[in-house]
Amino acid sequence: MPALIDLIEAGRPVEHHAPWRRAMVAPKTWNLAVEQLAEGRWSMLGLWGEPEIVHMALLDAADIGVISLKCPGGRYPSVGQLHPPALRLERTAADLFGLSPQGLPDTRRWLDHGQWGISYPLAAGASAARSQAPTTASAYRFLPAEGDGLHQIPVGPVHAGIIEPGHFRFTASGETVVRLEERLGYVHKGIEGLMAGSPVERAARLAGRTSGDSTVAYSLAFARAVEAALGVEAPPRAVWLRALMAELERLANHLGDIGAICNDAAFALMHAHCGVLRERVLRAGDAAFGHRLMRDRIVPGGVASDLGEAGMAAVLSAITEIRQRFPYLVELYDNTASLQDRTVATGRLKPELARQYAAGGYVGRASGRDFDARRSPGYPPYDELAFDVPVLQEGDVNARVWIRIREVEQSLSLVEQILERLPDGPISVGIPEPPREGMALDGMALVEGFRGDILAWLRIGAGGLVERCHLRDPSWFQWPLLEAAIEGNIVADFPLCNKSFNCSYSGHDL
């Protein structure tokens, strides 16, 4: 059984790729990696394209590496034909770059709804291709389902309430869901295309807008990738302030999710109380860093805002209030029989699926996958902080709620530790001169957002411009699992299951 490092060394190493290694490999080596994925020995962290090249990030135990394959004529051996988590990623690379995975079981377009006015917008010579006939909008071919008494229920893409668009096609037998099929891509923003050729500063702002509720995590992932590429280390105070922002973001989102899940089970009281606590965190973020969501406060080289005494007092006040009020809400949740009746045993995700899809965050940890990027591969200052990673096995809505509850408790502790040990010193360092003409520097990062691990990969070329950047949201590996979790449940439980996953439309659609 080969190790990932063996495959990397068997290929042609790519210079200036940090912190993990990348190699150009032959089709035989690519297929060997796919076999390791299919047999469950490795996990896929991401798959993305470039003109005539496809890349795949892999996790082998604690080792991370990237293999790249040239695609003559845009063709390469499909990963998805043996490893289903790659299916939508390969369809996306086909939409954006015109790459053609040979043997891909599902060749339908994914992000491209025929409304762009161009085919393959990121392929070589895409600007010239604008004069060519683009793909036209046509009815999406949903997968068939056959059987007596089956009926379909289309939901979305426009939904009630202020939420993002996505289409859900239910096939049901009576009230029982037989199949759910998702159709996403309605909020494709062209993030990767906008980043190409951008200065690092502008690209950093774009990264922070990939998924608004995770702006801190995306900014952190992008900044760490830039710093890895350029060999820069952020000052210690900046590193700890970044962790403070990340934990405040995690707190706000988990508190909001716990309340929203209960609200979808018609228990509005929890929603109201959790909403108050979430608002306290948002106001503390505003007082501490000048923005409720702390957007654009993490930048390559450090942070843009320091923490003053008033900001520290606001954060401590919020933490104190949550510590006082949150245990009563947990008790209320656990002792309300009608609420437990809706969440326990609803929307079960099997542990083997969570492992196969390398599901991150509360989705994976509620189904037994013990992974947290803060711990492994890890990044500072978490190696100096004490925290536990909660893991459950049940995989139902209730388990996903309890993972959030335990993570709220851990984040409260982390915020207190960070404030107690926050070092003095500068909050940023300068970005070094851009690489010389003809030289490119690649950087990569994996950070833990509130939904799970976020991958950032980029290349900085001459003039300090971003040549290529790929951002992978944890929702890429969670949306397909929602389809599996809802099967066998009643239609009325879908909002509950959906909210317990709380996947990002915007982060997925790029």
Least confident stretch, 142-151, 262-271, 309-318: 142-151
CB under 8 Å to 232, separation ≥6 — which residues?
Answer: 226, 300, 301, 429, 431, 432
- Rounded Cα distance, 113 and 132, in Å: 17
pLDDT of amino acid 315: 98
The pLDDT value recorded for residue 145 is: 83
Closest CA to 508 of 226, 91, 144: 91
**Model confidence pLDDT, tens digit, residues 199-253:** 999 999 999 999 999 999 999 999 999 999 999 999 999 999 999 999 999 999 9
Alpha helices, DSSP H, located in 42-177: 87-97, 126-129
The residue among 134 and 372 whose pLDDT is bigger is 372
| The two structure tokens encoding residue 289 | 């860093």
Alpha-helix residue ranges (DSSP H) falling in 153-235: 191-195, 200-207, 215-230
Q: State yes or no: pLDDT of 133 exceeds 60.
A: no
Beta pairing partners, 445: 456
Share of the chain above pLDDT 90, in %: 90
The structure's pTM equals 0.96
pLDDT tens by residue, 13-34? 999 999 999 999 999 999 999 9
Whole-angstrom distance, CA of residue 132 vs CA of residue 137: 15
Residue 130's pLDDT band, with cuts at 50, 70 and 90, is very low
Q: According to the model, what pLDDT value does residue 96 have? A: 96
The pLDDT score that the predictor gives to residue 81 is 97
For range 132-151, the mean pLDDT = 79
What local confidence, expressed as pLDDT, does residue 2 receive?
82
Of 76-90, 189-203, 429-443, 452-466, minimum mean pLDDT range: 429-443
Distances (CA, A) of 321 to 280, 314, 316, 450: 9, 11, 9, 21
Summarize the confidence of residues 169-183 as an average pLDDT: 96
Name which of 153-162, 205-214, 347-356, 471-480 the model is least confident about: 153-162
Closest CA to 248 of 51, 78, 60, 416: 416
Q: Is the confidence at residue 177, as pLDDT, over 90?
A: yes
CA dist list (Å): 421 to 236, 342, 417: 11, 42, 6
- pLDDT of 147 reads 86
77-100 per-residue burial string, b: 16 or more CB within 10 A, e: under 16? bbbbbbbbbbbbbbbbbbbbbbbb
- Alpha carbon distance 185, 207 (integer Å): 18
* Residue among 224, 244, 215 at smallest CA distance from 379: 224
> What pLDDT does residue 134 have?
60
pLDDT band at 356 (very low <50, low <70, confident <90, very high): very high
Calculate mean pLDDT across residues 441-465: 96
The pLDDT tens digits for 400-451 are 999 999 999 999 999 999 999 999 999 999 998 877 777 899 999 999 999 9
Task: Output DSSP code: residue 14.
Answer: P
pLDDT at site 135 = 62
In sequence order, the 6+-apart residues with CB closer than 8 A to the CB of 283 are 292, 314, 318
Split at pLDDT 50, 70, 90, the class of 131 is very low
The mean per-residue pLDDT over the stretch 366-384 comes to 97
Which of 148, 255, 235 shows the shortest CA–CA distance to 430?
A: 235
- DSSP states of 49-74: EETTEEEEEEEETTEEEEEEEE-GGG
Burial 43-74 (b: 16+ CB within 10 A, else e): bbbbbbbbbbbbbbbbbbeeebbbbbbebeeb
pLDDT score at 136: 66
Tell me: pLDDT of 463 over 50.
yes
For residue 199, the SS3 value is: strand
Burial letters for 383-404: b for 16+ Cβ neighbours within 10 Å, e otherwise?
eebebebbbbebbbbbbbbbbb
Average pLDDT over all residues of the chain: 95
- Angle in degrees, 0-180, between the axes of helices 268-289 and 236-264, rounded to the nearest 10: 160
Per-residue pLDDT, 124: 75
Label residue 271 by pLDDT band (50, 70, 90): very high
Which amino acid makes up residue 58?
A: L
What is the mean predicted confidence (pLDDT) over 70-90?
97
Q: Token digits for 23?
A: 């190699």
222 with 466: CB under 8 angstroms?
no
At 127 the pLDDT is: 45
- Is residue 336 very low, low, confident or very high in pLDDT (cuts 50, 70, 90)? very high
User: Beta-strand (E) ranges in 74-197?
Assistant: 75-77, 100-102, 150-155, 167-173, 176-183
Query: Facing residues of 47 across strands?
Result: 56
For 399, phi then psi, to 5°, come to -65, -40
* CB burial of residue 373 (10 Å; 0-12, 13-18, 19+): buried
* Burial zone of 143 (CB within 10 Å; 0-12 exposed, 13-18 middle, 19+ buried): exposed
Average pLDDT for 331-354: 97
